[in-house]
Amino acid sequence: MPPLKLTLVVAVALIDTDNRILLAQRPEGKQLAGLWEFPGGKVEPGERPEETLIRELREELGIAVKEPCLAPLTFASFAYETFHLLMPLYVCRRWEGFVQPLEGQALAWVKPQDLRSYPMPPADEPLIPFLIDLVGP
């Protein structure tokens, strides 16, 4: 088998003042459509991962995040059929503006203990226990 190309994607757990975590549903037409994920996206050439997240959060959710408000928590490492995904997960409790579904995606604020009821991409699922450890159930 040829080696799988390593793809770097960054994701974030936005946590509100009630300790709920934001999930976004992947839109129709995209790969993994309908599954609920931690928001984020591919790191583009020349970007630092933190810059990617700040850009994605502005484009997809209309919020402004400052780099010091992004704290690394853990990462996902998952072999898809055609590439290997490496995905750092940041947590963020502080942002400016209101979260809006700017790309028509459904959004849900979810208690950590309820994250398991949302069908997720396989890469995202193993991240749940880290969030329960961090914020409690």
How many residues touch ligand 9L3 under the rule CB under 6 A: the total is: 14
Per-position x/- string for 58-97, each x denoting binding to ligand 9L3 as judged by CB under 6 A, each - no binding: ---------------------------x------------
CA distance 91 to 22: 11
CA distance 78 to 83: 9
Q: Do 109 and 61 form a contact (C-beta atoms < 8 A)?
A: no
Q: Does 62 bind Mg ion (CB under 5 A)?
A: no
The residue within the footprint of ligand 9L3, chosen from 37, 50, 88, 92 (CB under 6 A), is: 37
The residue within the footprint of ligand 9L3, chosen from 13, 115, 123, 131 (CB under 6 A), is: 123
Other CB atoms within 10 Å distance of the CB of residue 33: 10
Helix (H, G, I), strand (E, B) or coil at 116: helix
Helix (H, G, I), strand (E, B) or coil at 131: helix
Name the minimum Å distance from CB 13 to Mg ion. 14
Name the minimum Å distance from CB 17 to ligand 9L3. 23
Q: Does 121 bind ligand 9L3 (CB under 6 A)?
A: yes
Q: Does 126 bind Mg ion (CB under 5 A)?
A: no
**What number of CA atoms fall less than 13 Å from residue 95's CA on the CB side?**
26
Q: Does 41 bind Mg ion (CB under 5 A)?
A: yes
Residue carrying structure tokens 């604020």: 109
Q: Decide the pairing of beta strands 5-14 and 83-92.
A: parallel
Positions in the binding site for ligand 9L3 (CB under 6 A): 9, 11, 30-32, 37-38, 40-42, 85, 121, 123-124
